[in-house]
Amino acid sequence: MTCFSVLDLVPVAEGSDVATALANAASLATHVEALGYERYWVAEHHGTAGIASAATAIVLAHAGQATSTIRIGAGGIMLPNHAPILIAEQFGTLDALFPGRVDLGLGRAPGSDQRVAQAMRRTLSGGPDEFPRDVMELQAYFAGDERLGFQATPGAGANVPIWILGSSLYGAQLAAALGLPYAFASHFAPGALDQALAVYRRDFRPSAQLDRPYAMAGYNIFAAPTVEEAHYLASTMQQTFIRLRTGEHGRMPAPVEGYFDSLPPQGQAMLNDVLAVSSIGTQADVERDLAAFIARTGVDEVIIASQIFDFEARKRSYAIAMDAVRAIEQPVPAVA
Alpha carbon separation from 66 to 25, 71, 308 (Å, rounded): 9, 12, 22
Distance from the first to the final alpha carbon of the chain: 25
CA 272 to chain centroid: 20
Q: Is residue 276 one of the residues assigned to a domain?
A: no
Q: Is residue 55 one of the residues assigned to a domain?
A: yes
- For the chain, helix (H) and strand (E) counts, in that order, are 12, 9
Q: Is residue 261 one of the residues assigned to a domain?
A: no
Number of structural domains (the chain) is 1
Q: What is the pLDDT of residue 334?
A: 46
Q: How many CA atoms lie within 13 A of 123 on its CB side?
A: 4
Q: Is residue 264 one of the residues assigned to a domain?
A: no
Q: What burial class does residue 30 get, using C-beta atoms within 10 Å of its C-beta: 0-12 exposed, 13-18 middle, 19+ buried?
A: middle
**Residues 328, 116: Cα–Cα separation, whole Å:** 43
Each residue's pLDDT expressed in tens, for the chain with a length of 336 residues: 899 999 999 999 999 999 999 999 999 999 999 999 999 999 999 988 999 999 999 999 999 999 999 999 999 999 988 999 999 999 999 999 999 999 999 999 765 567 776 777 655 455 557 899 999 999 999 999 999 999 999 999 999 999 999 999 999 999 999 999 999 999 999 999 999 999 999 999 999 999 999 999 999 999 999 999 999 999 999 999 999 888 777 999 999 999 999 999 999 999 999 999 999 999 999 999 999 999 999 999 999 999 999 999 999 999 999 999 999 987 544 444
Q: Is residue 38 one of the residues assigned to a domain?
A: yes
CATH of the domain at 59: 3.20.20.30
Q: What's the pTM value of the predicted model, to 2 decimals?
A: 0.94
Q: Is residue 98 one of the residues assigned to a domain?
A: yes
DSSP 55-116: SHHHHHHHHHHH-SSSEEEEEEEEGGGS-HHHHHHHHHHHHHHSTT-EEEEEE-S-SS-HHH
Q: Is residue 239 one of the residues assigned to a domain?
A: no
Q: Is residue 73 one of the residues assigned to a domain?
A: yes
**Residues 94, 74: Cα–Cα separation, whole Å:** 11
Q: What is the pLDDT of residue 118?
A: 73
Nearest to 73 by CA among 171, 158, 177, 173: 158
- Its domain, for residue 184, covers 3-219+300-327
Cβ–Cβ contacts within 10 Å for residue 224, how many?
A: 22
Q: At what angle do helices 84-97 and 56-66 cross, to 10 degrees?
A: 10
